[in-house]
Amino acid sequence: MPNATPPANNRPAPPPKPAGGPAVIRRVGGVEETLHDRLVNRHLPAWVVSGLVHLGIIALAFLIFGFRGPEKKQVDKILATTVEKEETDESTKDLTIEDIGFEPHEAAIPDIEREAEKTSVGVVTDDPVGVPDAKTNDSNALSAIGLPSSDLTTPGATGDAGMAVGGTGGANGLAQAEFAGRSGGTKSRLLKEGGGNSESEAAVAAGLKWLANQQKPGGYWEFDPRDPKMKTKDWATSTGLALLPFLAAGQTHRSGGKYTKQLSDGLTWLKNDLNISTGRFNHGSPQYMYGHAISTMALCEAYGMTKDRGLLTHAQAAINYIVRAQGADGSWGYQAGTTGDTSIVGWQVQALRAAQLTKDITVPEASVKRAVEFLNRVSSGSLKSAYGYTQPNGRAGTALTAVGLLCRYYVDGWGPNNAGMAEGSIGLFGNTKADAVNTVTKTDRIRAPRTLEQVKANPGTPEMYYYYYATQVVHFYGGPEWQEWNEGPKDATGKRLGGMRDWLVKTQSKNGNDSGSWNPDPGTIGSHCGRVGTTCLTLLTLEVYYRHLPLYKRNQGAAD
């Protein structure tokens, strides 16, 4: 057998030689290959394939990682941020406001008219109260003088009866300089505690309704005296006096109440009637200072209740006129710069007090002090409890005494604990008939008031000028005296016989075009101001319970 062991170089064995013939050597081309050929033929294909594979891997890595393959965490963070931003933008689109010209990122447009109404200061114009686009006069926003002046006479001890209403005041009492009692729960409480009732409030409501119907188309009111000679175009006075009962009842041009339009029209007319440069109203009576004070009161109270700065400049200008018009002896006369009497002083003091209550309108302390000096000169008695017209010859129980006592209360610290206030208040009852009846001389020019006893006998003809002042004085004095004045004395069984409140309600007209009003009284107001003026003063008298908060706290022993 042939040897089957393969050669050592692992090459295939040559074919067997044919038997019987010589060996033939053949040359076959390409059988022998060089080292270069072997390298090219055997290794180049593998390198090319491997290079192409690696090149593809590198290209793929470039596309995926952008030559930053190892920083995978940073890439994830960037991708996450991109997704969050897209989600936020999508949610914002859902909140887009559809109003044209209003983008979600823009602030809301304010109510320009409402803001202007809150902050503007009025000018003489035909625009309504609270006109916009006016400038604030900061020079007027000075602190008002405090209560009381330094001319106290007999301060009383602080007691625990009466109403403590906050703040500090004269005569060791407590003061409050606000109009807070005219509306809401405070009004209801004061009405109840002060002795008002549903009948008196119904009379006020009916009176305001009648008064509103008397307003003229231009926004003013007009007096209607019986005597044609007394009828002048004293529209500033009549308008100011007509506005006061509405304000006392809590009605303003901003309250949104039943008489908002009447208040707005009336105040607008009053503003336009005022010469802002002089502080004087155009439509005044020959006895000008009476009406000026009344109109000024209306402006001051309306501003104090609303803080409508459209009224501030006008109210301040009118107060400035009062200050300049004061006479040499501290009084006020019919015209500016002249000396006058207690009656005219009473209205100026009420106007100055209304300005003080606002805490924004400037009232010079010197002017008030001079008024107090005048009161000192015309007062009589050891306690200065009675007041004359221009001399210290007054008696108890007169209209002038009521005027003087109210002035003392407002600007001189005379609370219910003051001995002069106590003596004067009790004297208003007319308990000493020799002093209470027929005490005012012709030179006083004020009709002698009727005592309560006379009113009981004939309740149809009250003297409203007297009762307007006297009711305020006794109300602020308080205690059992006020209850007797307001509700009447007791009979043998302890029942109240009826006082000022019930008499005024009873005398109100109930039928026809005059329903809600009061007949002109036979005194000063009725003869000069007619039914309109009498009705205004009567309403203010029935609103005494809440018109002004008590300034001072009453001592239990004040009546003694």
CA dihedral of residues 400, 401, 403, 409 (deg, nearest 10): 170
Tokens representing residue 488 in the block: 């009447």
Closest to 536 (Cα-Cα) out of 256, 298, 268, 179:
298
Q: State residue 62's pLDDT score.
A: 58
Helical axes 288-306 vs 260-273, angle rounded to 10°: 130
- 391, burial (CB in 10 Å: exposed 0-12, middle 13-18, buried 19+): middle
* Residues facing residue 275 across a β-bridge: 280
- Three-state SS for 45-63 is HHHHHHHHHHHHHHHHHHH
**What CA–CA distance (Å, rounded) separates 299 from 271?**
8
| Per-residue pLDDT, 38 | 54
- What total number of domains does the chain contain? 1
Sign of the C-alpha dihedral computed for residues 486, 488, 489 and 495 taken in this order: negative
Instruction: Tell me 203's DSSP state.
Output: H
Residue whose token pair is 């607008």 = 268
Q: What are the distances in angstroms from CA 101 to CA 96, 104, 113?
A: 12, 10, 20
Burial class (CB in 10 A: 0-12, 13-18, 19+), 196: buried
- Which structural domain range is residue 205 located in? 154-547
Tell me the three-class secondary structure of 220-270, residue by residue: CCCCECCCHHHCCCCHHHHHHHHHHHHHHCCCCCCCCCCCHHHHHHHHHHH
In a domain, 140, yes or no: no
**Continuous segment of H or E residues that includes residue 274:** strand 274-275
Residues 6+ apart with CB under 8 A from 374: 329, 330, 331, 345
For residues 406 and 445, is the Cβ–Cβ distance under 8 A?
no
User: Residue 41 falls within a domain, yes or no?
Assistant: no
Residue 283 within a domain? yes
Are residues 322 and 293 in contact, defined by beta-carbon separation less than 8 angstroms? yes
Buried b (16+ CB within 10 A) or exposed e, 3-28: eeeeeeeeeeeeeeeeeeeeeeeeee
The pLDDT of residue 452 is: 52
- Report yes or no on 217 lying in a domain: yes
The reply to whether 480 falls in a domain is yes
| C-alpha span between 223 and 524 (Å, rounded) | 13
**Residue 158 pLDDT:** 31
Report whether the peptide linkage leading into residue 416 is cis, meaning its omega lies within 30 degrees of zero. no
b/e per residue 318-347 (b: at least 16 CB within 10 A): bbbbbbebbbeebbbbeebeeebbbbbbbb
Average pLDDT per 10 consecutive residues for the chain, totaling 560 residues: 47 53 47 53 59 68 54 42 41 34 29 32 42 33 27 30 31 42 83 93 98 97 86 93 97 92 98 97 93 98 95 98 98 97 98 96 97 98 96 92 97 94 89 33 35 52 85 94 89 84 93 95 88 97 92 60
Per-residue model confidence (pLDDT) at position 35: 54
**How far is residue 258 from each of residues 204, 241, 251, 261, measured CA to CA in Å?**
14, 19, 8, 8
Question: How far, in Å, CA of 422 to CA of 414, rounded?
Answer: 9
| 197 within a domain of the structure (yes/no) | yes
Q: What pLDDT is recorded for position 323?
A: 98
> Of 114, 548, 120, 177, nearest to 311 (Cα)?
120
Q: Provide the token pair at 554.
A: 């009453």
Residue 508 lies in a domain: yes
Residue 296, domain CATH: 1.50.10.20
Q: How far is CA 462 from the centre of its chain?
A: 36
User: At residue 153, what is the residue type?
Assistant: T
Q: What DSSP designation does 161 have?
A: B
Which residue type, as a one-letter code, is found at position 166?
Answer: G
Start-to-end CA span in the chain (Å)? 167
Q: Which of 334, 349, 463 is nearest to 403 (CA)?
A: 349
SS3 for 281?
strand
Q: What letter would DSSP give residue 140?
A: G
Cα distance between residue 206 and residue 534, in whole Å? 14
* Contact assessment for residue 265 and residue 319, using Cβ atoms and an 8 Å cutoff: no
Given 3-state DSSP classes, what are the helix, strand and coil percentages for the chain, each rounded to the nearest 5? 50, 0, 50
Residue 352 lies in a domain: yes
φ and ψ at residue 274, rounded to 5 degrees: -90, 130
